[in-house]
Amino acid sequence: MIDQKDLEFIKNSLSFFSELDKDQQLSLQQAILKKEYVKGEIMQGGAQNCSGLFLIYSGQVRTYIISESGREITLYRLFDGDVCIFSASCMMKNISFDIYVEVEKDTQSFLIPTQALKRLSKNSLPVQSFINNIMALRFSEVVWIMEQALFTSFDKRLANFLIEQSIIDNSDILVITHEKIANHLGTAREVVSRMLKYFQNIGLVKLSRGSIEIIDKDKLEELV
Amino acid sequence: MIDQKDLEFIKNSLSFFSELDKDQQLSLQQAILKKEYVKGEIMQGGAQNCSGLFLIYSGQVRTYIISESGREITLYRLFDGDVCIFSASCMMKNISFDIYVEVEKDTQSFLIPTQALKRLSKNSLPVQSFINNIMALRFSEVVWIMEQALFTSFDKRLANFLIEQSIIDNSDILVITHEKIANHLGTAREVVSRMLKYFQNIGLVKLSRGSIEIIDKDKLEELV
């Protein structure tokens, strides 16, 4: 069960909460589950799996799609207070792709199970409108990713990824494999390794086994 | 003003219509406009423009995005009975990309102006739910396009485009420039021309000025 502190967090994060009537609020409170995940776990593994709406309390997850040949690309990441609706996509008409959610840092979350969410959204305009807004937000992020992948040269995309990652990790030393970066950016490992070596040659980064150190952040930012 | 026949079409296409109360139905009927467009016209030109929800009565349009450098990629096409909601994106929270809509065949449409749609969606759960379903449908189409663009080799994508286009045009002779195809597929004209020449060399198509004839449809389909 959730306690008073949890409830405050939920109320602040889910803008529709205050617009529900007393009965709806109570049944939602009773339905919400606390879920904890450790780094590396898959919270949502494609269409087979449809737990419900996740609200991240603390931690970090990434959502991605996988091609038939096994290639990945990251769509967006979720942090404290963010909401994942595609883990409830089985209740949504017309969603025909499978989204995967992987835990990047140990994560505490709240889950509104699909059945409870379905019941709510059927009868509540604020809930429908909330889902609408989240979907529009994710749609915009995916269009941005597509624009980047199609129209931006790979050196810029990689530089951008390294800068973002160093902000997220709050460190200039990134502990990440070339394979992982390739999965984020929807490309092959060799492409990442080649560009990183070039970055090292022109003095932007220093490569070590399993980590990448950003040496010249200003120049890296210029590239973006 | 719309007549009885128009109204029947609108009722059949917009599933929420029958769920509106009498007053809402009447005010919607009074707000709906008939709009005609000729081939080549831009129905929606980015964020500056936010006419409302279009329902295609007859014709064909394509929706696309444009990169900063001017490159295009087609997201999806709309035919008879289809609905375009991103021409009302100014009323939608969180939509941060600009969608363009170009008329490919002379098109007759109905327009629910943004103000009327906004009024309706504020008070109607069925309208919210309808918008939700359309957004999910487009989202799925865009994810599919992204998967294709990222993970599918260009020969397959081009073969797929030629087959689709010949179904849409109901002809094996496609009157289309290499530039146009490049804009659909988010690539450069040279890339299209090179691959088409290769297709000609292996006997799949015959190229003429301004048109492409499909010679061996079976082989083309095998490629896909």
* Domain locations in chain A as residue ranges: 4-149, 152-223
CA distance A111 to A55: 6
**The Cα angle at residue A89 between residues A25 and A142, in degrees rounded to 5:** 110
Distance from CA of B1 to the nearest CA of A (A): 31
pTM of the model: 0.88
Chain A partners within 8 Å of B136 (Cβ): 92-95, 135
- Residue B23, token pair as written in the block: 């007053």
Residue identified by tokens 């087609």 is B74
CA atoms in the 13 A half-sphere facing the CB of B179: 3
* Residue B139 tokens, joined: 């989202």
Residue A68 has pLDDT above 90, yes or no: no
The answer on pLDDT for B96 being more than 90 is: no
Residue bearing the bigger pLDDT, A170 or B46: A170
Is the CB of A111 inside 8 Å of chain B's CB atoms? no
Architecture of domain A4-149: Sandwich (2.60)
Does 3.65.10.10 match the CATH number of domain B152-223?
A: no
Of the candidates A95, A151, A186, which has its C-beta nearest B150's C-beta? A186
Domain B4-150 CATH class label:
mainly beta
Model ipTM value:
0.86
Tell me whether A146 touches chain B (CB under 8 Å): yes
The per-residue pLDDT for range A147-185, each reduced to its tens digit, is 888 888 899 999 999 999 999 999 999 999 999 999 999
Check if B209 contacts A (Cβ < 8 Å). no
- Look-up of token digits 């301004």: B210
B153 Cβ under 8 Å from any chain A Cβ: no
For residue A202, pLDDT over 70 is answered with yes
State the nearest Cα–Cα gap between B128 and chain A, in angstroms: 6
